[in-house]
Structure 1
Amino acid sequence: MIVTPQGYAPVTRASQVNGSNIYAFRANCSYRRHFESWFHADGAAPGTIHEMESYHGMLACVIAGAGIALIPRSMLESMPGHHQVEAWPLAEQWRWLTTWLVWRRGAKTSPLEAFIQLLEVPDSARQGYQ
């Protein structure tokens, strides 16, 4: 979700927030790369990119009106203060990111197997979730 300060106009394109300061993780973070690609694809560019160490820090900066952030919906909704910001879903082609679960060969334990089973959500259960 594109997270903006409260009262911000709806965001559907990067050009609407061109030049805005963004709060993101380090440059090797897939969400940050995705956020920067979203700007670039629309011919826009973020202002200053402030590197943060937590989603909570990003949210605090957005609440303070210092910029915008890209935060997964489930994470945002779990955090105190999420009602103090606006949150806008990305357009469909930008909405999904692939997360890879990697483990060392021969190190697949019973707890890891159980975790994998939890992650295997049928496509029908994902319909409508942003």
Structure 2
Amino acid sequence: MSPARIQRRRTKGWRKPEGAVIVTRPSRFGNPFTFAMAYELGYADHGDTETARRAVLGAFRSWLAGNRLMWQSEEGDTARQRLLDGLPELRGKDLACYCPLPEPGEPDHCHATVLLELANRKTP
């Protein structure tokens, strides 16, 4: 079975499945881009969480690819490299984040999906 994204819960009795890795903020693998940022920069209207979720996912994906537009500092570069260096730790593991799971057939707008893709991609 291939690695999957799990929705982390705050409900009483919920436990992280064995072997899964928590990738929420403020973990090493958390998405540094927030809904507040998306609202403040005009990428989404206040309260439009789905548009904000897509905006911060796009910022995260672009940032990991080396784009400095959303975080122009050595601190951002260091954080990116630290995250990328840790990707082998995620290989083959389920990842847990608070983002809601998508409906069947819908795209998953969670940074954990990007981490799953990167950590488990085939290397030539």
TM-score range (shorter-chain normalised) is under 0.3
Q: Normalization by structure 2: what TM-score?
A: 0.25
Q: Which has the higher strand share?
A: 1
Instruction: Identify the structure with bigger relative contact order (alpha carbons < 8 Å, sequence gap 6+).
Output: 2
Q: Normalization by structure 1: what TM-score?
A: 0.24
